[in-house]
């Protein structure tokens, strides 16, 4: 599953991949779990602003559903943009307000 979003001048790509983890304990029934892969680009450029991130839940495990992995990846990307790029975003917002 792949989704693209626009947020505050950045393009967010979130993909969800199945994580098939096999171990001898669960050899007969392997639960399918999911991880999200997040990529952030400037909306008008193709270059990534960060390397792609592979995300699991806060405990480092995979997610139980595709929807959970997708929404968590999107929320994480928005938080990264807000936290890492807030200074430049706020400066451009102030410049736009003056114009």
pLDDT of 82 reads 94
* CATH label of the domain that carries residue 55: 3.30.160
38 domain residue, yes or no: yes
What is the tens place of the pLDDT at every residue in 27-62? Answer: 566 678 899 999 999 988 888 999 999 998 878 788
Residue 33 lies in a domain: yes
Range list of β-strands (E), 10-88: 10-19, 33-42, 53-55
Q: Which residue has the higher pLDDT, 23 or 32?
A: 32
pTM score, whole prediction? 0.75
Residue 98 lies in a domain: no
Higher pLDDT, 91 or 15: 15
- pLDDT score for 16: 96
End-to-end Cα, the chain, rounded Å: 41
pLDDT of residue 25: 62
Please give the residue range of the domain that contains residue 74.
2-86
């Amino acid at each position: 599953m792949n989704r693209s979003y626009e947020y505050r001048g950045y393009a967010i790509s979130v993909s969800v991949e199945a994580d098939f983890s096999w171990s001898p304990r669960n050899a007969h029934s392997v639960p399918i779990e999911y991880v999200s892969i997040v990529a952030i680009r400037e909306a008008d450029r193709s270059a990534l602003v960060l390397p792609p991130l592979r995300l699991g839940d806060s405990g480092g495990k995979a997610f139980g559903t595709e929807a959970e992995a997708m929404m968590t990846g999107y929320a994480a990307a928005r938080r990264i943009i807000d936290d890492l790029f807030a200074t430049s975003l706020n400066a451009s917002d102030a410049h736009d307000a003056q114009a």
